[in-house]
Amino acid sequence: MSLDAKDVALLRKLWAAGQSAAQIARRLGCSRNAVCGRLTRLGLKRGRKPPTAKPMIRSVPKQRPALVACARPVTKKVSRKTGKKQKEFTKRQLYAMLAEALRNTG
C-alpha cells in the first residue's frame, strides 16, 4: 500500500480522533493490516483503553494444610448400645437358611 502525504495526514488525524484501524482502512480503501503496519512504522500507539466494566476482584482462597500422617493410629469409638440382642441360630437352622439361599440363586 502506498499512501501519499495527504493519506498519511488523514490517517494520523483519524487515529488521534480515536477511530479503529478497521474504520480507517474502510475510509482509505485498503486492508486493516495495511493500516496497522503503517501505524507501526509511523510510531503511533494508542494508550491503554480503560476497562469497559468494573472487574470483580476476588481474594485468593486460603490453602488448606496438608494432612499429616498420625504418629499412632487413632482408635475408633464404637457405640455400645445394649438395647437389641442378636438372635442366635442353631446349626440346623443355619444349614436350612444356606440351602434355601442356594435354591433361590441357582
User: Could you read off the pLDDT of 18-50 as tens digits, one per residue?
Assistant: 888 999 999 999 999 999 889 989 988 876 666
Q: Write the pLDDT tens digit of every residue in 51-68.
A: 666 767 778 878 776 665
Burial 14-52 (b: 16+ CB within 10 A, else e): bbeeeeebeebbeebebeeebbeebbeeeeeeeeeeeee
Distance CA 22, CA 7 (A): 15
**Torsion from C-alpha of 23, 28, 29, 34, nearest 10 degrees:** -80
